[in-house]
Amino acid sequence: MTRTMEANVSTALQQSNIRAHYLTYFDFGSGALRFWSGVSELTISTGGDADGTYTAAGNLGQVGGIEETTDLKAAGAEFTLSGIPSALLSVALIEQYQGRTATCWLAIFNATTDVLITDPFQIFSGRMNLMPITDAGKTGAIVVTAESRLIDTQRSQNPRVYTDQDQQNEYAGDLGLEFVPKMQELVITWGRKDLAPSILGEEAASEPAAPPAAAPDPAPSTLDDSSEGGDGNDDGLDDVSDGGGWSDSYSV
């Protein structure tokens, strides 16, 4: 992301006899630290944010990764301080730094008189992210990486995980996400109810079997034993006779 350079800074950069230095500020938990790329202690008192006393880092301090682009993107920065006594590295290991402010300014001096020509110009401001430490025996190096505050535009401001517990925290009693955990490994076979497991974790009921067919009613008997003169017994014989004797004919 590009910015408009202030007129006084632009004018200072056009002078022929100048020297530019980095001013850095780190808001560590145990206290703020200020370094600059010069060779002696420096005090800035211009009434701006860069005001303060800076420890000389000289060639032992390096600034890298700062860039200006036409795109709106989160560019980071990297600050290296080498030649640190090993005894001080243990202090850096327990330092509170993540998420705390790191700022860098560009200061322009007259190369002959070492007078500050104009107010320091801020070229980076962000939050410290990582601080890897290299121990080379008697001395070591600390690298502070910082990310631009624009990185916040790439993060969700209200992250939701969309679980039942998350839903209960937002809307107590709502059951809209009740079955989300069981849906993670749910297999649904489309078109076959008997193969598709229920969302409750139970096997779906098969189609109910058809009821057995009812037995047909028995056919009515064609034998009649109750006619006049019969004996009333349903023995399949028609014993109607003339004069009480047996008839010489019968039907089955």
User: Angle at Cα 205 formed by Cα 203 and Cα 206, nearest 5°?
Assistant: 120
pLDDT band at 219; cut points 50, 70, 90: low
Of the listed ranges 98-102, 122-126, 222-226, the least confidently predicted one is 222-226
Point out the domain boundary residue: 119, 154, 189: 154
Q: Does residue 28 sit in the same domain as residue 106?
A: yes
Q: Which range marks the domain in which residue 24 is found?
A: 7-154
How far apart (Å, rounded) are the C-alpha atoms in residues 81 and 102?
14
Q: Is the pLDDT of residue 42 over 90?
A: yes
Q: Is the pLDDT of residue 103 over 80?
A: yes
Q: Is the pLDDT of residue 115 over 50?
A: yes
Q: 9 near 118, Cβ under 8 Å?
A: yes
Q: Does residue 28 sit in the same domain as residue 115?
A: yes
Residue 61 CB-half CA count within 13 A: 20
Number of separate helices (H) and strands (E) present in the chain:
4, 10
Do you know the residue count of the chain? 252
pLDDT of residue 252: 46
Point out the domain boundary residue: 185, 204, 223: 204
Q: Does residue 77 sit in the same domain as residue 187?
A: no
Whether residue 211 is contained in a domain is answered as: no
pLDDT band at 204; cut points 50, 70, 90: very low
Q: Does residue 124 sit in the same domain as residue 67?
A: yes
Q: Does residue 100 sit in the same domain as residue 197?
A: no
Q: 57 near 73, Cβ under 8 Å?
A: no
- The β-bridge relationship of strands 52-56 and 42-44 is antiparallel
Q: Does residue 93 sit in the same domain as residue 191?
A: no
How far apart (Å, rounded) are the C-alpha atoms in residues 54 and 62?
15
Q: Does residue 30 sit in the same domain as residue 52?
A: yes
Q: Does residue 145 sit in the same domain as residue 93?
A: yes
Whether residue 220 is contained in a domain is answered as: no
Tokens of 125: 């401001």
Amino acid at 151: I
What does each C-alpha distance from 175 to 69, 102, 188, 198, 199 come to in angstroms?
48, 46, 22, 18, 14
pLDDT tens by residue, 49-86: 999 999 998 877 888 877 766 666 667 889 998 888 77
How far apart (Å, rounded) are the C-alpha atoms in residues 236 and 234?
6
Q: Does residue 110 sit in the same domain as residue 179?
A: no
Q: Does residue 176 sit in the same domain as residue 123?
A: no
Q: Report the percentage of the chain scoring pLDDT > 90.
A: 18
Q: Does residue 91 sit in the same domain as residue 164?
A: no
Point out the domain boundary residue: 94, 121, 154: 154
The single residue listed with the structure tokens 């993540």 is: 98
Whether residue 11 is contained in a domain is answered as: yes
Q: Is the pLDDT of residue 36 over 50?
A: yes
Whether residue 124 is contained in a domain is answered as: yes
Closest CA to 14 of 114, 105, 108: 108
Phi-psi region of 235 (alpha: psi -120 to 50; beta: other; left: phi over 0): alpha
Q: Which residues are registered as beta bridge partners of 78? A: 64, 145
Contacts of residue 153, defined as CB under 8 A and 6 or more positions apart, other chains included, come to: 74
Whether residue 248 is contained in a domain is answered as: no
Q: Determine the average pLDDT of the residues in 169-187.
A: 85
Q: 26 near 40, Cβ under 8 Å?
A: no
Whether residue 97 is contained in a domain is answered as: yes
Whether residue 224 is contained in a domain is answered as: no
User: What letter would DSSP give residue 149?
Assistant: G
Q: Does residue 29 sit in the same domain as residue 100?
A: yes
Whether residue 241 is contained in a domain is answered as: no
The count of domains in the chain is 2
Phi (first) and psi of residue 18, to 5 degrees: -130, 165
Q: What is the pTM of this model?
A: 0.56
Q: Is the pLDDT of residue 5 over 60?
A: yes
117 alpha-carbon distance from chain centroid: 48
